Amino acid sequence: MPFLARTLAALALGSLMNTTVVQAAEVSPTITIGTQEVGLTAGYMLPHRLTTDHTTKQQGPALMPSWMITLTDPISDSWIRGQVSIGAEMVYIQFREPVLTHGVGFTPKIKYTFVALDYVRPYAEFAGGPFWTDLGGRIPEESTQFNFVLTAGVGVSWFLTPQTALNVGYRFHHISNAGTHYPNLGLNASLPFGGFSFYF
């Protein structure tokens, strides 16, 4: 019986390795200058109260459709080899705490994608832009409904086909009115996310 179990395990492992090699050969994406990416990302916002003055536990789901275009061919020849993309993203957040409110924003965006691992591609991204929310004025951290949202995050794209990828990652969100009105402590949150992208 142990021999049979070892044989079956070896066959299963060999099959998995063969499938992975074939999949890698078939899936290998070719992203060049001018390649466009349309994506949809969703996550759940979790609050960070960074000081004792931060008392609001804002949280809720977020939805972020985006468009990007690749600006460079792969840069460098080491493990940091990657490509730069720019684009824009819409941000919708439904705040379920402390009261049911909403937020909508528009953020220009830049992304650096590491390409050394071929069909598994880590990336770093930054975005920022105007953000409107009716949560403003109802909490001590924000006195206005018009604000700005800044995000910084990391993620991984797993290419299922040369044109389709699944994305998972983490973002840090900061919302404030940039000192245009006081009080302006700002809201800070973590946003784990998942989504998908199409390339053409």
Q: What is the pLDDT of residue 6?
A: 53
Same domain, 95 and 186: yes
Q: What is the pLDDT of residue 105?
A: 97
Residues of the chain with pLDDT under 50: 1, 3-5, 7-8, 11-12, 15-25
Phi, psi of 22 (to 5 degrees): -65, -45
Phi, psi of 6 (to 5 degrees): -65, -40
pLDDT in tens, 75-120: 888 889 999 999 999 999 999 888 899 999 999 999 999 999 889 9
Number of domains in the chain: 2
Q: What is the pLDDT of residue 97?
A: 81
Lookup result for tokens 């536990």: 57
Which domain, by its residues, includes 99? 31-199
Supply the pTM of this predicted model.
Answer: 0.81
Q: What is the pLDDT of residue 28?
A: 83
CA distance 89 to 83: 19
Same domain, 24 and 39: no
Same domain, 140 and 90: yes
Q: What is the pLDDT of residue 17?
A: 45
Same domain, 39 and 15: no
- Which residue type, as a one-letter code, is found at position 31? I
Same domain, 158 and 118: yes
CA distance 173 to 150: 6
Q: What is the pLDDT of residue 7?
A: 46
